[in-house]
């Protein structure tokens, strides 16, 4: 059961090959068994999961069960779920029980999904290796000495290790796609505004977008159809119909115009990764796709731009964690100032503090124009570059990451080196574009991801290309040895 | 600075008016005043992790109405920004306000000065923002309680140019804005509950100087009287400081009504750097011409228009017209009295702005809660008009109507207050007064004309004031000259 995809599990559950309770039990025991080595979960919610599974079995027996009834999933611990501890990977929220459901959580709940637990993540989604989590790093199931990527490292590792068939995740600068690439799974970051941010603890509001980690593009299509759509509680969610993304998965690729991002192939790309990408492109070309090189001249500015915009927003978004109403509060504060300083000083980890300080600095009087305003201008230029590119091509393809999974601790001492992990993924966030990472091979036994970027609301096309590619290859079916 | 040089006061006001929406500006919580602490604070108001603000369209409409009423420009695109600072009653660690692109820009209000001349006060801008909660100390020794019921209440902050030159002008302007927001029904104007309050920027400079002096900002003044006192205190303080060779420092000050003085809260150096930036959780507010046209069509008759009409339609003085249009409820009341009476606009004006206003003021009532309705007052004035009672008796009847909640006619009948217009009873009273005062009668007849008044008083007294004064005069003259 554990190796089946969401699509297969839906069939299996309906054909009564196994009950939802049996499925849930089986996966819960895999999760428990893997936890000491992988640390993919922050909370394992066995009791609630089994109760939900029993309810799913009743609904399946009654014959009126919604689409995902009985399908086990996990939520990144950034999503608030009613009555469930929601830590965001931080000591600050170590004791926080969410009093409401995020829209993504509510929609999956309404569709019948069974939540097995909350996955580990970089603290407040700030990190590219899952090493900033207060709850310890997640380890890459392909090689335990390596990182799973971040910030959705727990979700990616859990899906890769066949602990859950799918997990929710969020992507602010690559936090879905980068761990998807490093763990060999499929990671979809939808268009900004496609999925409600309500109940998703904010890191950088103008960049954050909820999405999925699955093993196949087909499953991503299924889940996106469930979580996407306008939400009156999120002003930035877009009022636009949600198509059935599974309907367009098999469309032929004949005539598909693929843009190869010149800038992505230029700078410091591992030649072994480039070889894999070129052969993946051959697969698409063999199905009738046409390739052309595309240049986005402002794209190389995306990392510095991102590291002004994201910290600026985070410095404000994280101000609410002040020890007054919820979350961590220091012992015996002397006065208000002491309460603020120690609650925040003790509750946040070093990477979160670094970004709050950076963000506070770039918004300060006298620096705002030079940093924040300039970054917003560059952001507009990058978005315009993409818009120009999509006038001539249907999708852009390039690597997801410059390297495969690196060793734990290899980059923790140098934040800038760590930040460069997101060099290929940040552009889509700055421009609000949808992007997907799919496995396209292995270098020295470690998975490599291919990134496909589309125009706004171009998810159908992305999923179509990814699905056709997965139909022609089997990289996405490979499981890490110990978790097959 | 020379001590005998005259000083000029320069004042600008920032008025905060709470918008009368049912729900808060970014959440569905109720805005009603006086609920138990935190009973009206939702997860959004509490700034919980993951929640998002959603703009209440009613607040936007109210801000636009205000802008239209002061002849301002309505921004086709305005942007909410975050004002970042830490405070326990500010749940998110930032206040959502508008900074670079406010919804209303420009505009003006005309105030009438004491000498009757009109002065224009320019409005720089008006922007939408959310209110903060409040800290509670009462009954919590050694602790601070936080009540977030008010957090997220919609406000419009109306910023004037530094156009006022005295505390009186500032009060006149503030009253004018107060009148307008209530006319527009966008604010209940309740100053005790904090629905309408202001910050005053005050500076002084030598008369004729081109540059403004350094200003102090007096925060959160919530009564017209305090505004006047606070500004006057502050002006005197600054002048004394400057004349003593000192310097005014730019700072925020607080007015203490108990001691009648302003005190320093924080200096410019201690001021927060608010790190404003556009709120990424909210889309820019886009307003098109149709939206503005629809709202313009909904604008009621505004105070200045109404006062102008009262002057021409009812022949009232500019002053009377101003007084009667101070609130739309008062103006409506007045017009209802005139309508009932079928004229007598001046009589009605005197009563509404005189006797009625006095009793309302005495009992601390709003016109809406007047104990005598417009129809009731009209019925009373009809009895004055048809001479059933005199104007003097009418005042007593009005008091009785006020306290006993009965009609004028019932009181007149019960107390037998109808004027005596028949000659018989008046002549009888005259005869008995003459008989009782033979000495005065003799003196009068000997030429002491001044005693006529004495006889009028005595006869009035004998008729309990009910004798028709004109008839009494006539008959008394006849009899005395007898």
User: ipTM, 2 decimals?
Assistant: 0.96
Interface of A with B in 424-463 (CB under 8 A): none
Residue B277 main-chain phi, psi, to 5 deg: -155, 155
pLDDT band for A267, please (50, 70, 90 cuts): low
What is the number of other CB atoms lying within 10 angstroms of the CB of residue B68? 19
Q: Region A371-383: what's the mean pLDDT?
A: 98
CA distance A184 to A447: 5
Pick the residue of B50, B51, B53 with the most A CBs within 10 A to test the interface with A by mutation: B50
Write out pLDDT tens, residues A288-320.
Answer: 999 999 999 999 999 999 999 999 999 999 999
Q: Region A333-349: what's the mean pLDDT?
A: 96
pLDDT cut 90: percent of chain A above it:
94
Q: Which residue of B has its CA nearest to A96?
A: B49
Beta bridge partners of B121: B109
pLDDT, greater one: A281 or B3: A281
Q: Which of A67, A46, A80 is nearest to A110 (CA)?
A: A67
The beta-carbon neighbor of B49 closest among A80, A322, A372 is: A80
Q: Region A403-432: what's the mean pLDDT?
A: 91
CA distance B80 to B98: 5
- Nearest-10 Cα torsion for A128, A133, A136, A137: -10
The beta-carbon neighbor of A197 closest among B52, B84, B275 is: B52
pLDDT of residue B1: 43
Burial letters B186-222, b for 16+ CB under 10 A, else e: bbbbebeebbbbbbbbbbbbeeeeeeebbbbbbbebb
Q: Does B91 touch chain A (CB under 8 A)?
A: yes
Contact status, residue A382 vs residue A305, Cβ threshold 8 Å: yes
pLDDT of residue B4: 64
B220 sits in the region (left: phi over 0; alpha: psi -120 to 50; else beta) called left
Q: Give how far B51 is from chain A: nearest CA, Å.
A: 6
pLDDT of residue B2: 47
Beta bridge partners of A210: A170
Beta bridge partners of A233: none
Task: Tell how strand B145-147 and strand A290-294 pair up.
Answer: unpaired
Beta bridge partners of B200: B13, B218
Q: Does B82 touch chain A (CB under 8 A)?
A: yes
pLDDT of residue B468: 82
**Is the CB of B86 less than 8 angstroms away from the CB of A199?**
no
What burial class does residue A451 get, using C-beta atoms within 10 Å of its C-beta: 0-12 exposed, 13-18 middle, 19+ buried?
Answer: buried
CA distance A224 to A243: 10
pLDDT band for A268, please (50, 70, 90 cuts): confident
Q: Does B52 touch chain A (CB under 8 A)?
A: yes
CA distance B47 to B133: 12
The beta-carbon neighbor of B93 closest among A102, A313, A320 is: A320
Active site residue A413: no
Write out pLDDT tens, residues A137-186.
Answer: 999 999 999 999 999 999 999 999 999 999 999 999 999 999 999 999 99
Sequence-ordered alpha helix ranges (H) in A165-287: 177-183, 217-227, 262-266, 271-286
pLDDT of residue A144: 98
Its CATH architecture, for the domain A6-256, is Alpha-Beta Complex (3.90)
**Is the CB of A199 less than 8 angstroms away from the CB of B92?**
no
pLDDT exceeds 80 at position A266 = no
pLDDT band for A372, please (50, 70, 90 cuts): very high
Question: How distant is the alpha carbon of residue B375 from its chain centre?
Answer: 24
Across chain A, mean pLDDT equals: 97
Beta bridge partners of A259: A292, A396
CA distance B106 to B129: 18
Active site residue A76: yes
Q: Does B83 touch chain A (CB under 8 A)?
A: no
What is the number of other CB atoms lying within 10 angstroms of the CB of residue B123? 25
Look-up: residue for tokens 């009087």?
A: A365
Q: Which of A29, A32, A23, A21 is nearest to A4 (CA)?
A: A23
DSSP conformation letters of B37-72: TTTT--TTTTT-TT------HHHHHHHHHHHHHTTP
Cα radius of gyration rounded to whole Å, chain A: 21
Contact status, residue A432 vs residue A193, Cβ threshold 8 Å: yes
Contact status, residue A104 vs residue A79, Cβ threshold 8 Å: yes
What is the three-class DSSP state of B190?
coil
Instruction: For residue A23, give the H/E element and its range.
Output: helix A20-38
Q: Region A359-368: what's the mean pLDDT?
A: 96
pLDDT exceeds 90 at position A61 = yes
Active site residue A175: yes
pLDDT of residue B419: 78
Residue A205 main-chain phi, psi, to 5 deg: -55, -35
Q: Which of A364, A380, A373 is nearest to A316 (CA)?
A: A364
**Is the CB of A235 less than 8 angstroms away from the CB of B82?**
no
CA distance A168 to A228: 12
pLDDT of residue B425: 86
What is the three-class DSSP state of A243?
coil
SS3 letters across A82-122: CCCECCCCCHHHCCCECCCCCHHHHHHHHCCCEEEEEECCC
pLDDT of residue A415: 84
Residue ranges, chain B, pLDDT below 50: 1-2
Q: Compute the half-sphere exposure of residue B207: CA atoms within 13 Å on the CB side of its CA.
A: 7
Catalytic, out of A84, A151, A152, A237:
A151
Rounded to a whole number of angstroms, the distance between the first and last alpha carbons of chain A is 11
pLDDT band for A262, please (50, 70, 90 cuts): confident
Q: What is the largest CA-CA distance in chain B?
A: 100
Its CATH architecture, for the domain B423-481, is Orthogonal Bundle (1.10)
Hey, CA dihedral for A279, A283, A285, A291, is it positive or negative?
A: negative
A-B C-beta contacts closer than 8 Å: 100
Q: Does A324 touch chain B (CB under 8 A)?
A: yes
Look-up: residue for tokens 């027996």?
A: A61
Catalytic, out of A175, A302, A315, A343:
A175
pLDDT, greater one: A470 or B114: A470
Beta bridge partners of B123: B160
| Range(s) of chain B covered by CATH 1.10.10.410 | 423-481
CA distance A211 to A459: 11
Q: Does A306 touch chain B (CB under 8 A)?
A: no
Hey, CA dihedral for B36, B40, B44, B49, is it positive or negative?
A: positive
Tell me the domain boundaries of chain A: 6-256, 300-376
Q: Region A17-32: what's the mean pLDDT?
A: 98
Contacts of B386 (CB under 8 A, 6+ apart): none
- A323's tokens: 């020890």
Q: Does A45 touch chain B (CB under 8 A)?
A: no
The beta-carbon neighbor of A320 closest among B91, B280, B282 is: B91
Q: Does B384 touch chain A (CB under 8 A)?
A: no
Contacts of A235 in chain B (CB under 8 A): 52-55, 281-283
Q: Which residue of A has its CA nearest to B277?
A: A363
């Amino acid at each position: 059961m554990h190796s089946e995809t969401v699509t297969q599990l839906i069939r299996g559950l309906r054909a009564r090959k196994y009950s939802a309770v049996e499925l849930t039990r089986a996966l819960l025991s895999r999760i428990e068994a893997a936890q000491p080595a992988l640390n993919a979960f922050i909370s394992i919610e066995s009791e609630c999961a089994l109760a939900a599974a029993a309810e799913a079995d009743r609904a399946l027996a009654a014959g009126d069960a919604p689409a995902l009834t009985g399908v086990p999933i996990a939520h990144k611990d950034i999503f608030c779920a009613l009555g469930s501890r929601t830590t965001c990977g931080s000591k600050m929220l170590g004791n926080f029980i969410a009093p409401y459901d995020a829209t993504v959580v509510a929609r999956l709940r309404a569709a019948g999904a069974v939540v097995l637990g909350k996955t580990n993540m970089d603290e407040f989604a700030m990190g590219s290796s899952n090493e900033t989590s207060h709850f310890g790093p997640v380890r890459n199931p392909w090689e335990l000495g390596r990182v799973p990527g971040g910030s959705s490292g727990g979700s990616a590792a859990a899906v890769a290790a066949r602990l859950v068939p799918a997990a929710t995740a969020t992507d602010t600068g690559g936090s879905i796609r980068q761990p998807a690439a490093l763990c060999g799974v499929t990671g979809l970051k939808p268009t900004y505004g496609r999925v409600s941010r309500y109940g998703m603890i904010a890191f950088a509001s103008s960049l954050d977008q909820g999405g999925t980690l699955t093993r196949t593009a087909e499953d991503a299509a299924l889940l996106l159809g469930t979580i996407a759509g306008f939400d009156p509680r999120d002003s930035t969610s877009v009022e636009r119909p949600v198509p059935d993304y599974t309907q367009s998965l098999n469309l032929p690729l004949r005539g598909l115009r693929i843009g190869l991002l010149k800038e992505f192939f230029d700078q410091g790309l591992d030649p072994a990764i480039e070889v894999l990408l070129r052969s993946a492109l051959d697969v698409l070309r063999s199905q009738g796709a046409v390739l052309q090189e595309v240049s986005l001249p402002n794209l190389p500015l995306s990392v510095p731009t991102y590291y002004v915009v994201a910290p600026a927003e985070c410095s404000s978004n994280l101000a609410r964690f002040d020890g007054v109403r919820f979350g961590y509060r220091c012992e015996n504060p002397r006065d208000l100032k002491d309460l603020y300083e120690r609650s925040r000083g003790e509750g946040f980890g070093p990477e979160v503090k670094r970004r709050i300080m950076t963000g506070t600095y770039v918004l300060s009087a006298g620096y705002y124009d030079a940093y924040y305003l300039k970054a917003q201008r560059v952001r507009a230029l990058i978005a315009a570059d993409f818009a120009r590119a999509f006038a001539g091509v249907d999708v852009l393809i390039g690597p997801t990451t410059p390297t495969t999974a690196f060793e734990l601790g290899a980059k923790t001492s140098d934040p800038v080196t760590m930040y460069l992990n997101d060099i290929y993924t940040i552009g889509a966030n700055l421009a609000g574009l949808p992007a997907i990472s799919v496995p396209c091979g292995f270098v020295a036994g470690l998975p490599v991801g291919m990134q496909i970027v589309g125009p706004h609301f171009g998810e159908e096309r992305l999923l179509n290309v990814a699905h056709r590619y997965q139909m022609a290859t089997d990289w996405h079916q490979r499981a890490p040895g110990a978790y097959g | 600075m020379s001590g005998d040089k005259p000083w000029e006061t320069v004042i600008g006001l920032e008025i905060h008016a709470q918008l009368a929406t049912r729900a808060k500006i970014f959440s569905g919580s109720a805005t009603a005043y006086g609920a138990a602490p935190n009973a009206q604070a939702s997860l959004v108001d509490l700034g919980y992790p993951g929640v998002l603000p959603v703009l209440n369209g009613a607040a936007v409409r109210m801000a636009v109405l205000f802008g239209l009423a002061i002849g301002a420009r309505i921004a086709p695109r305005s942007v909410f920004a975050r004002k970042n600072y830490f405070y326990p009653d500010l749940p998110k660690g930032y206040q959502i306000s508008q900074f670079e692109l406010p919804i209303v820009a420009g505009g003006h209000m005309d105030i009438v000065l004491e000498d009757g001349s009109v002065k224009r006060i320019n409005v720089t801008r008006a922007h939408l923002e959310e209110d903060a909660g409040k800290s509670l100390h009462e009954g919590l020794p050694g602790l601070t309680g936080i009540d977030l019921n008010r957090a997220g209440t919609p406000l419009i902050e109306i910023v004037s140019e530094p156009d006022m030159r005295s505390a009186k002008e500032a009060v006149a302007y503030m009253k004018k804005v107060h009148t307008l927001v209530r006319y527009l029904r966008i604010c209940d104007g309740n100053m005790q509950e904090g629905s309408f309050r202001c910050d005053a920027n005050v500076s002084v400079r030598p008369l004729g100087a081109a540059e403004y002096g350094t200003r102090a900002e007096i925060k959160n003044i919530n009564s017209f009287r305090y505004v006047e006192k606070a500004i006057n205190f502050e002006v005197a303080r600054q002048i004394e400081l400057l004349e003593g060779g000192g310097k005014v420092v730019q700072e925020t000050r607080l007015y203490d009504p108990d001691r009648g003085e302003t005190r320093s809260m924080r200096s410019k150096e201690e001021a927060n750097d608010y790190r404003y930036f556009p709120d990424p959780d909210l889309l820019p507010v886009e307003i098109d011409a149709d939206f503005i046209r629809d709202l313009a069509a909904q604008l009621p008759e505004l105070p200045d228009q109404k006062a102008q009409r009262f002057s021409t339609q009812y022949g009232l003085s500019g002053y009377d017209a101003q007084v009667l249009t101070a609130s739309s409820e008062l103006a409506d009341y007045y017009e209802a009295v005139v309508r009932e009476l079928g004229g007598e606009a001046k009589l009605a004006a005197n009563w509404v702005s005189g006797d009625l206003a006095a009793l309302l003021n005495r009992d601390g009532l709003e016109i809406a809660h007047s104990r005598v309705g417009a129809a009731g007052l009209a019925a009373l004035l009809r009895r004055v008009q048809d001479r059933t009672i005199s104007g003097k008796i009418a005042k007593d009847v009005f008091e009785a109507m006020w306290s006993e909640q009965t009609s004028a006619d019932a009181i007149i009948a019960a107390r037998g207050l109808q004027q005596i217009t028949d000659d018989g009873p008046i002549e009888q009273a005259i005869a008995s007064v003459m008989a009782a005062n033979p000495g005065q009668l003799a003196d009068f007849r000997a030429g002491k004309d001044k005693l006529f008044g004495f006889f009028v008083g005595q006869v009035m007294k004998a008729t309990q004031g009910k004798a028709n004064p004109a008839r009494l005069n006539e008959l008394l003259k006849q009899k005395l000259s007898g």
